[in-house]
Structures are given as structure tokens and as C-alpha cells.
Amino acid sequence: MKGIYLVFAEWCNTENIWIASSNDIPGFIAEADSIEALSTKLQSLIPELLLLNKQVTEEQIIIEIVARKFVKTQSLEK
């Protein structure tokens, strides 16, 4: 069976970073400047945490990243 781990990433406007967490992986939290950098970081961080939490299998690990970012803009009408 393949392990699929759901990661939620949210943009922090005050720090200008992506912050990620997951209910599937105890102790997991990560941050990065871009969603691409976060994705790269997760490829090594998640297997390490799974090993530490004794959740490792020898099979492929799949990471699903759900990202959310709020953007403010102005209406065209006055």
C-alpha cells in the first residue's frame, strides 16, 4: 500500500513564507519562501519524520499539498 500524506500549506503575509502542517504526521511543521521550495523540502523532511515516528514503510510515499493564499484587491466600481 502506498502512503499518501496530506499537507496543508498557507501563505503568511506578515512573514512572507509558506507554513505547512499535516494531521497525518505527528510533529510536522515546515516553512519555505516559495511553494516550490516547500515541495522540495517536504521530499526529505517527511520521510525523516515518518522514520522517527516509526510510520515508515518500504513503499513509495505520496505527498499531496493543498495550498491556500488570500490576496486583497480593489473593486473597479466606486
In a domain, 61, yes or no: yes
* Residues 9-21, mean pLDDT to the nearest whole number: 97
Residue 74 maps to a domain: no
Predicted confidence at residue 18, as pLDDT, reads 98
Report long-range pairs for 66-75 (Cβ below 8 Å, ≥24 apart).
Answer: 66/6, 66/7, 66/8, 66/9, 67/9, 67/10, 67/11, 67/18, 67/35, 68/8, 68/9, 68/10, 68/11, 69/10, 69/11, 70/11, 70/13
Query: Residue 20 maps to which CATH number?
Result: 3.30.2390.10
| Structure confidence at residue 3 as a pLDDT band (50, 70, 90) | confident
Count of domains forming the chain? 1
Q: Is the confidence at residue 1, as pLDDT, over 70?
A: no
What domain range is 52 assigned to? 3-68
Q: Give pLDDT tens digits for 19-78.
A: 999 998 888 999 999 999 999 999 999 999 988 888 866 678 999 999 999 988 999 987
In this prediction, residue 78 carries a pLDDT of 73
Residue 73 lies in a domain: no
